[in-house]
Structure 1
């Protein structure tokens, strides 16, 4: 089988979903895996997800993008102080998942968070970022780097663009002209009553709501074939997942 480049949506502590989608996509060590962030906060295995990804990275080429929830967890691992907003939005389950993790392993996890990418551009000029960016000059010119983890305007713009506006028109958003394709997570497709990846202009949203009632999704970026886990509530029937 030809090596593939596979992009993975927001995991949010759902290790069972991650293992399931890796199996369903028949992932091999020749495949490149690009993870769009938000590995933690939601289901009960956040620390275990991080450990699994650290081990996976030793076996094959993996690229890890940092999400907003990952930044919260990183700050907690470094400083030991709980952010109340984070605790309400999934941090509680993450803290609990670390109860049996030794200090030396926590340090390894902290290092893992610290060297994650804020965004990644491949050789075919495809951008991978957790949320988005706001600069019309592209992410390299982004003034507030927090936008890489929080921005939703890129997706909203792409989703609502008039499809009749041509790329050579002065009306076409300059943000969308920098890249062949853009892959994001952060905004669950469940918000639009969709359980599968969504596309607007050249932007692909791979977050299919694994933190809530949706599934975890993996997509082949060349063929657009995708694979999904079972809905996460079915894999963790005694849990509630993340708060809205």
Structure 2
């Protein structure tokens, strides 16, 4: 890939469009000089999912912008694709895909989509987008290998051989950074750093080889965060 000046990565956005735009504008992404990777979880929990959807769909496929899939995209996809339209008590008790999504922040997303009067079009377009979102990407920059995925990985296994469930749902590295003894730099979202006892900013662990980017965007004291992995500079929304 062309030589890049900044390798930017965004953590989870979770429907917080205003916070996202503040961080994005601070970062000042330049497609001629920068590469920007999004770690997934664009919707759910936050009150502005539709503007986030529209922004992502408008920018997907643009030069030097990579959008990955998160577990919330996975939940959305399975919930909307679910053949059984039943909403009876049993399906909720036993965790249907719809129940899983709605009970994990999807309820506000669905409500906001309905309010637009364009529900069917938005759902269909977002489903088509999710189908194109990769689970991971790898970037070579300044002689180093950088791995990106939403949640977790096994650092000793090639990316193409990682388990989907680990990439989307795991928390092993976030909770046990010492498990990463490799040379590659790994950037993760999914696990809010506040839940691990850190303040709301990206965390460089394991001598900078593990970067935690989820700064609890939807929390009261949370932020949407972007970081340049080459310089360590951070761009964040206000709390």
Fold shared per TM-score above 0.5: yes
* Aligned partner of 1:210 among 212, 217, 221: 217
Spell out the pairing of 1:156-175 with structure 2 (5 A cutoff).
156-158=175-177, 161=178, 173=179
Q: 2:73 aligns with which of 70, 73, 83?
A: 70
- The superposition leaves residues 72-93 of structure 1 with CA deviations (integer Å, 9 ceiling, x where unpaired) of 1122333375622321221111
Unaligned runs of 5+ in 2: 86-96
3-state DSSP of counterpart to 1:146: helix
State the partner residue of 1:152.
171
Pair 1:121 & 2:121 matched: no
* Structure 2 equivalent of residue 133 of structure 1: 153
Give, in whole Å, the separation in 2 of the partners of 1:93 and 1:6.
Answer: 29
Question: Residue 75 of structure 2 contacts residue 100 of structure 2 at CA under 8 Å; is this kept in 1?
Answer: no
1:127 Cα deviation after fit: 0.1
Q: Number of paired residues?
A: 214
Deviations 1:118-149 (A, max 9, x none): 1111124210011112474233323x311101
Q: RMSD over aligned Cα, in angstroms? A: 2.0
SS for the counterpart of 1:90 is helix
Pair 1:203–1:108, CA change in 2 (3 A) = same
Task: Tell me, in whole angstroms, the C-alpha distance in 1 between the residues paired with 2:133 and 2:181.
Answer: 24
Q: Which runs of 5+ in 1 are unaligned?
A: 162-172, 232-244
Is the 8 Å Cα contact of residues 80 and 98 (structure 2) preserved in structure 1? no
Question: Which shows bigger deviation, 25-34 or 46-55?
Answer: 25-34
Q: TM-score, normalised by structure 1?
A: 0.80
Aligned ranges for residues 31-42 of structure 1 at < 5 Å? Answer: 31-42=34-45
Listed one character per residue, the Cα deviations across residues 21-55 of structure 1 (whole Å, up to 9, x for unaligned) are 11112223333210011111111222321210121
Matched, 1:98 2:113: yes
Of residues 12, 23, 26, the one that matches 2:25 is 23
1:11 to 6, 10, 13: 13
> TM-score, normalized by length of structure 2?
0.82
Counterpart residue number, 2:46: 43
